[in-house]
Amino acid sequence: MLGRGPGRTGRGPQAGAGGRGTGSAPAAGAGSRGTGSAFGSASRSHPVVSLLSMGLAIPGSLTPSKVAAFKDCALAFRFSVIDRLPEPPSAQAFKGTVLHRALELLMWEQPQGRRTLEAALAKLDRAFAELVAGPEGSALGLEGDEREGFIEDARELVRNYFVLEDPDSVRVIGTELLMQADIGFSPGLRDGSDQETGLPPEATLRLRGIIDRLELDDDGELVVTDYKTGRAPGEAQEQARLGGVHFYAFLCDKVLGRRPVRVQLLHLREPTAIGAVPSDQSIAGLELQATAIWEAIRRACYFEDFRPKPGAVCERCAFHAYCPAMGGDISLVHAAQAAARDPAACELGEPVPAEVRAPRLPLVAAW
């Protein structure tokens, strides 16, 4: 484990379509649920044919943000990843997008020795100009003082970045790298079938992630860096927050055949760097944890049993209108999905409350 604190070497978190009927079909007669349609037998000489409800669509892959979201609150995970409910634009998320782009431009367009603060601030201006006209920026509609405040805060984060490391020392070999690896997976009973749900065995579990930055250290070894624009975690949450970069280390190990010697989170707000050294134990632990989370998601989809987990995360949750723990009504989910697909058609049908069409709370942050 590396150290923590400010300084250049300081130590040192696709979904299937929403809706029903597209998941894996349970074996006829298996499982404890029976909420779907059932057709009786035609005669004694023919087997009973049952069409059970197939539950919610199971996501196609697992990413660090999905793991974190499911652990934070399974119900919010369902609303976001499975139901794909619309979420309001987030200035914090957009700021992260702009910062990532600016630092990417700094690494690729400025050779080592010319990555100055002035150059980084110029890249920030360019990144903002490019992205503010895009879908994410347009949805926010930043104007006037709000726009100026956004830019000034982003500039402060760039200045903080230079407290954490000297970009001239970075031997970058990749940015925004999409990696994916399939690992062997079988349900919890590990006998080729899931006797409780009847879910068929899955041959593989797909893990995916986008690595902010991959570089070489002085010895030519891989280092994974992840930029964060939100608050750094307290000491107690530090290890949990490193789950995302360990996920990336696992992907490097599987895809490139080389395990990074270091993974690090650069929290630009404080600024604080948090790092760790991947090990045999952390790589194996990541695979075990991913498999366990995947199994829990599969079962939750099958049983449509995603439970709320009220806590601090609720402050950033956009789904209060649907959450029973917040006095919301989960039956509004289907109306919200219909409104998102075709707002005009929805107005002809059941009325959808305004807060469902346009939730006012900020987006659940992904990491």
| DSSP-assigned letter for residue 276 | E
Q: Give the position of tokens 């407290």.
A: 163
Q: Is 366 in the site for ligand SF4 (CB under 6 A)?
A: no
Cis, bond preceding 271 (omega within 30 deg of 0): yes
Q: What are phi and psi of 265, to 5 degrees?
A: -105, 125
3-state SS string for 305-338: CCCCCCCHHHHHCCCCCCCHHHCCCHHHHHHHHH
Q: Is 321 in the site for ligand SF4 (CB under 6 A)?
A: no
Q: Is 207 in the site for ligand SF4 (CB under 6 A)?
A: no
Site for ligand SF4 in 73-92 (CB under 6 A): 73, 75-76
- Give the strand order in the sheet containing 222-228: 4-5, 272-276, 262-267, 222-228, 204-216, 171-184
CA gyration radius, the chain: 23
Nearest to 75 by CA among 300, 283, 277, 290: 300
Q: Draw the binding track, 37-76, toward ligand SF4 (x: CB under 6 A; -: no contact).
A: ------------------------------------x-xx
Pick from 54, 296, 313, 330 the residue near ligand SF4 by CB under 6 A. 313
Q: Is the CB of 317 or the CB of 332 nearer to ligand SF4? A: 317
| 291/184 Cα distance (integer angstroms) | 9
- In the complex, least distance from residue 75 CB atom to ligand SF4, rounded to whole angstroms: 4
Q: Is 329 in the site for ligand SF4 (CB under 6 A)?
A: no
Q: Is 309 in the site for ligand SF4 (CB under 6 A)?
A: yes
**Token pair belonging to 194:** 């899931």
**Stretches 26-34, 139-147, 303-311, 342-350: which one binds ligand SF4 (CB under 6 A)?**
303-311
- In the complex, least distance from residue 77 CB atom to ligand SF4, rounded to whole angstroms: 8
- In the complex, least distance from residue 335 CB atom to ligand SF4, rounded to whole angstroms: 17
Pick from 210, 277, 283, 325 the residue near ligand SF4 by CB under 6 A. 325
In the complex, which residues of this chain contact ligand SF4 (CB under 6 A)? 73, 75-76, 308-310, 313-314, 317, 319-320, 323, 325-326
